[in-house]
Amino acid sequence: MSTPLFHELKTQFPKAEIDSLVLWKGAQQILLGNPRVEKVFQHDFLEASKLSSLYRCWKLRGNHYDLSVNTHTQGRRGYRVISRLIGAHVRLSHQYENESWLDRLLVTHSIPQDYTVHAMDNNLRLLRLIGREQRLPQHQYELFLSKTEKHWASDWLQANPVGTRQLLGIHIGSGGTKNLALRRWPLAHYVAFLKELPTRYPTLQPVLFGGPEEAIDLAELRASGCQFLEVKSTNLRQAIALVNHCDAFLSVDTVFMHIAAAVRVPHQFVIETPTLNPPVYPRRDDWTLIPNSAVAGRHLDFYRYDGRAIAGTPDELRDIMKSVTVEAVLEAVGKAASAA
């Protein structure tokens, strides 16, 4: 969601060196190969010691940056503290609900975030704070895969032939920070869905994606008698290359949702969660929302970009996700089957 801003900055400041500091290794992989970014620094500020985090900031401070940008939706104050420690002359951010006098000391310029528009557009609006406007006629997610990664996906497809069936990519995860794991669709629902899928739509071949955090759940699905292909990639970029071959993709609002939108999977289905606000919608018009009646448009009552967890008890949040029925998801993905 930040890549269009990198593109704009590189277009308007072609001689500038643009670096990126990210928290997650997955975010680092997303940016590898991006011609707008010179260096991608990754540091897990949540797990690393305070001393090592201070050292990382001190090292980056030595680069004497002119400008730093905290992109949307980074609402935690810690991100702005990091920006201040690195010490760029001009420091841009959005104004979040948790803003106080301290934030006005951490950043030099800010604008209110807008929950009605995409995070991509919230980011591009930051250009106004440095006296610039958008120049590029259109903006979209940007991913740059290598030939090696594309070949890996081709080799996987040859090793797992599906004939004339369409690939239905599925990511059963939902994130691991705070209490985001509670927004996943229940595993029991996935069991029922995967068992019914071959009978209802034999032209669809389910392909399940996930990392180490989903390994236990994938094993449980297989132990329950579910039939599917599992993507055992060694990194996220290989998985991205394979998503690019999917005919359809099903998930909640996770990084895989944005990956599916970035590679323009023909049919994209998203199960509504309490965290699915407009800033994090898939960046495309032709996607299908599988509505959650228990959310009923009250997303901001559950989740805002202020660093807090999803509002509600674990049981309440699990019940919210249980309310999306197996039949509702089956009917939605039937659109992909009917298009075969």
The hierarchical CATH code for the domain 147-338 is: 3.40.50.2000
Distance of alpha carbon 245 from alpha carbon 21, whole angstroms: 30
Kindly tell me if the per-residue pLDDT of 337 is higher than 90.
no
3-130 belongs to which homologous superfamily? Glycogen Phosphorylase B; (3.40.50.2000)
Report pTM: 0.93
Distance, CA of 68 to CA of 96 (rounded, Å): 18
Which one, of 230, 268, 272, lies nearest residue 246 by Cα?
Answer: 268
5 phi and psi, to 5 degrees?
Answer: -65, -40
Interval 322-328 mean pLDDT? 97
Residues 204 and 103: their CA atoms lie apart, in Å, by: 50
DSSP calls for 185-229: PPHHHHHHHHHHHHHH-TTEEEEEE--GGGHHHHHHHHHTT---E
Banded model confidence at residue 340, pLDDT cuts 50, 70, 90: low
**Average pLDDT, integer, range 319-337:** 94
pLDDT over threshold 80, residue 176: no
Asked if the model's pLDDT at residue 339 lies above 90, the reply is no
- List, as one string, the DSSP characters of 218-270: HHHHHHTT---EE---SSHHHHHHHHTT-SEEEESSSHHHHHHHHTT-SEEEE
Per-residue pLDDT of 69-99, as tens digits, reads 999 999 899 999 999 999 999 999 999 998 8
Distance CA 106, CA 144 (A): 33
Query: Where are the chain's structural domains?
Result: 3-130, 147-338
Whether 147-338 and 3-130 are alike in CATH topology: the answer is: yes
